[in-house]
Amino acid sequence: MTDTPNGPKIGISISNFQDSTLRRVRQLGITTVHSSGGIPSPNTNFGVEKHLPWTEKTLGSDMKALHTHGMKMGAKMITGFPNAIYGRPGRD
């Protein structure tokens, strides 16, 4: 089963944009992916703070890798600011 232009999109979450990962996902017939802000680390709240803010360079390389494999980004989740999410002191 593959995506259709006007139908639902089958997506999968990926944590890296390496060739081997993207080939595996594309072989499943998936053309839309979603991803978080980066590689998790056990030393931070969500593990991706060091990857923020996103830049044109970092997002561009992800998008180029996807395009090379005939895929696109459906959503890019942003994490790493729990004080703002939960209305805690220090959120500003």
* Whether pLDDT at 38 is above 60: no
Q: Is residue 3 part of a domain?
A: no
The pLDDT of residue 33 is 93
Range list of H helices, 1-92: 19-27, 56-68, 82-85
Number of domains in the chain: 1
The pLDDT of residue 37 is 61
Q: Is residue 27 part of a domain?
A: yes
Q: Is residue 91 part of a domain?
A: no
pTM of the model: 0.69
> Helix 19-27 vs helix 56-68: angle between axes, to the nearest 10 degrees?
50
Q: What is the residue-averaged pLDDT of the chain?
A: 79
Q: Is residue 4 part of a domain?
A: no
Q: Is residue 51 part of a domain?
A: yes
Considering 9-13, 31-35, 51-55, 66-70, the range whose residues carry the highest mean pLDDT is 66-70
pLDDT digits (tens, 9 = 90+) for 50-65: 666 778 888 899 999 9
Q: Is residue 1 part of a domain?
A: no
State how far the Cα of 78 lies from the Cα of 33, in Å rounded to an integer: 15
Domain that holds residue 69: 11-85
Q: Is residue 64 part of a domain?
A: yes
